[in-house]
Amino acid sequence: MKIGVIGRGSLGRELIKSLKKQRKCEVRVNDSDKNALHKSKNHSIESIIQCEQIFICVNDDSLYDVMKRLSMYEGSVVIFSASCEVKNAVRVLKNASSVSLFHPIQSFSKRSRIRAPFCSFYATLQFQGKNRFLEDFAKANNIKIIKLKKDADKKLYHLSAMLAGNYTMVLIYAAERLLKESTKDKSLSAEVFLPMIRVIIERAASEKITDSLSGPIARNDKKQLNCILKSIKDSKLKRLVKALNEEARRTNFNG
């Protein structure tokens, strides 16, 4: 079976490695980034269109240009995107036998030295027309599929992934900054919080999220929380903490 992959960024590279492990697949790759292809053959779009299955692994700002080039394609297309709407993709890929919007709930950051393999994670899926190859591929790689409603607001789903991933890292960075402001030892880093974070994640994996809360948030100690809030001089940070307190209170007592 011929498989086409368009885009060879961090996610694309891991996908290609995983596909090549399936010996029955011939993987053809198209990428506009010359640096990413210095050791790999770059196939033309015409060559990719000859494949029975195409995976699109490009940034959202390039996605619609790529789809337009595949507008006459009649095979199955899988698009890796957190925000693209299935109805919009189908409108462009009107001749495709199936169109799937697939988004791994995993980090494939090109900045990180630690590479996440393309296996053992959750992924969301919206589709028009079933894709048997994608289903078998996900099963073989221990990828657990979460099917989104066809009319789901993808922007809200995307925000959920950002809150759990990138924004969590932003909060940890803010915690590191506050820690340094509170101590003479400026060499301290977010590593100080890692034992606590590991325990919280372990609890969250086996218990209800609310059971992993602790301290004044778990007790709903409004007096202590307000005291902390009053001590914050940075107005932007103060608004953020206030919003987090309100969300924590709602999660803890209504969740």
**Straight-line distance from the first to the last Cα atom of the chain, in angstroms, rounded to the nearest whole number:** 47
* Sign of the alpha-carbon torsion through 247, 253, 254, 255: positive
More confident residue, 27 or 205: 27
Classify burial at 147, counting beta carbons within 10 Å of its beta carbon; exposed 0-12, middle 13-18, buried 19 or more. exposed
CATH code for the structural domain at 163-254: 1.10.1040
Q: Are 169 and 146 in contact (CB under 8 A)?
A: no
- Structure confidence at residue 154 (pLDDT): 87
In this prediction, residues 201-209 reach a mean pLDDT of 84
Question: Is residue 39 scored above 60 in pLDDT?
Answer: no
- Structure confidence at residue 33 (pLDDT): 67
In this prediction, residues 140-151 reach a mean pLDDT of 90
pLDDT band of residue 253 (cuts 50, 70, 90) is low
User: What whole-number distance in Å separates Cα of residue 34 and Cα of residue 234?
Assistant: 44
Which pLDDT tens digit goes with each residue over 40-70? 678 999 999 999 999 999 998 999 999 999 9
161, two tokens: 């992934």
Q: What is the 3-state secondary structure (H, E, C) of 179-233?
A: HHHCCCCCCCCHHHHHHHHHHHHHHHHHCCHHHHCCHHHHHCCHHHHHHHHHHCC
Question: Is residue 38 scored above 50 in pLDDT?
Answer: no
Which pLDDT tens digit goes with each residue over 14-33? 999 999 987 688 999 999 76
Q: Where are the domains of the chain?
A: 2-152, 163-254
Which pLDDT tens digit goes with each residue over 148-186? 987 788 888 999 999 999 999 999 999 999 999 899 888
More confident residue, 204 or 129: 129
Which pLDDT tens digit goes with each residue over 74-105? 999 999 999 898 999 999 999 999 999 999 99
| Fold entry, domain 2-152 | Rossmann fold (3.40.50)
User: What whole-number distance in Å separates Cα of residue 179 and Cα of residue 21?
Assistant: 46
- Structure confidence at residue 40 (pLDDT): 62
